[in-house]
Amino acid sequence: MNNYDQRKRENVHHAAVEDVCISEALHSLFVCIELSCTVIGSLFIVSAVVLINRHRQLRNKPIKMHLFGICFSYLLFFVTSTHEFIYWDRTESKCRADVVVFGVPHVFVFLNVFLALIDRLVAINHADWYQINMTEDLAFCIIIISSTLSVLVMQFFYPIALGFLPCEISFIRANVNGILLTFTCVAGIVLYLTVRKKINHLTRTQKRISSTPILEFSNFKKIKKMHRESRNRWEYSINDDVMNEEVKDRGILSEIQIEITRILLTGVRYLIFMAFIAVVWVSVFFVGQPVNDDLKCNYINWTEPFLKILLFVYALYGSMVFFNGLEELKPTIFVRIFNLKNLH
């Protein structure tokens, strides 16, 4: 009997040692992946910022500020999350802390995407007002004010009102961030579909405008054989000059705006797809807590390492999407401008 108990204790001890070794190995692997994603993602973000700043076509354009805002928002995935996961107070509920940390970067990225999509929507629907009134400084002020208000709502107002109760602060912050994340995600989807529909319509309209001078020229060939040849030639000359200027101005400028908008829509499409994971996880937290009545959330804590990896990989992938789109923007614009000049 004693030998049996001793063997049982030894087996339990060996199993515990193996579990610790596996846990340490996984932790080391996760740390390596996080560091790699942080370094590579930061390089892509800095490169994207440099590309945006160097594009001549983006100078004095409000969309430039919005692209900067999106790029810098991705840094929160590498800075804020790492800091709070490492230095979080261990006495608080772990899953609530995770919800607070996990939602903040998503909220800021979606906030900047939300503002950028509104900027594109106003530029399409109210082009004259947009060109006259919207400036880089105004766009910068809108981004700063919106981000500041979001920080105040997420971090300060509710804790101050509750009198600095740690448990209540954690729970309220988790609720507020979950609500903001869901709202910005849904609003981003609606704006994405609206802007995509508008930009497709604008592209078709622009193609019709670009083909108008050629159609008028072919019609003129038939008409000039008839009477009033000199008058028709004079009218065609005036109309052709006007249309050439219109196509030149609209074609080059709108091609730039359309390409930038398409890059933004591509990034938003992948962003929305990946953000559903965050929304699902936060939803599980809110649904599972009253059902399990577990303050430490043991039913969901096992997902923490995988969520951390997902967070960093997600930020890395998002920064790569914007960098690749901006890298392809310059040659695409120059080729289309060259083709338009040859057309005329």
* Phi, psi for 48 (deg, rounded to 5): -65, -40
42-46, 84-88, 243-247: range with highest mean pLDDT: 42-46
Q: Are 68 and 55 in contact (CB under 8 A)?
A: no
Quote the CA–CA distance of 229 and 223 in Å, as a whole number.
8
CA distance linking residue 321 with residue 268, whole number of Å = 10
Residue 170 Cα to chain centre, angstroms: 27
Which position has the higher pLDDT, 331 or 337?
Answer: 331
Asked if 305 and 31 touch (Cβ cutoff 8 Å), the reply is: no
**Averaged pLDDT, 193-219:** 67
**Per-residue pLDDT tens for 247-285?**
444 433 456 677 777 777 777 776 776 666 666 766 666
- Domains within the chain, CATH numbers bracketed: 2-343 (1.20.1070.10)
DSSP 126: S
Which of 287 and 100 is assigned the larger pLDDT?
287
Question: Helix (H, G, I), strand (E, B), or coil: what is residue 1?
Answer: coil
For 215-250, what is the HEC assignment? HHHHHHHHHCCCCCHHHHHHHHHHHHHHHHHHHHHH
- Structure token pair of residue 212: 């108008």
pLDDT at 32: 73
Res 215 pLDDT > 80: no
Q: What is the reported pLDDT for 17?
A: 43
- CA atoms in the 13 A half-sphere facing the CB of 28: 6
**CA nearest 252: which of 326, 329, 338?**
338
- What does the mean pLDDT of the chain come to? 65
- Span 207-228, average pLDDT: 50
CA–CA separation, 44 and 36 (whole Å): 12
Q: Which two tokens stand for residue 134?
A: 């919207």
Q: Average of pLDDT values for 1-29? A: 53
Q: Where are the alpha helices (DSSP H) in 55-79?
A: 62-78
Q: Residue 140: is its pLDDT beyond 80? A: yes
pLDDT band of 299, cuts 50, 70, 90: low
Burial class (CB in 10 A: 0-12, 13-18, 19+), 246: middle
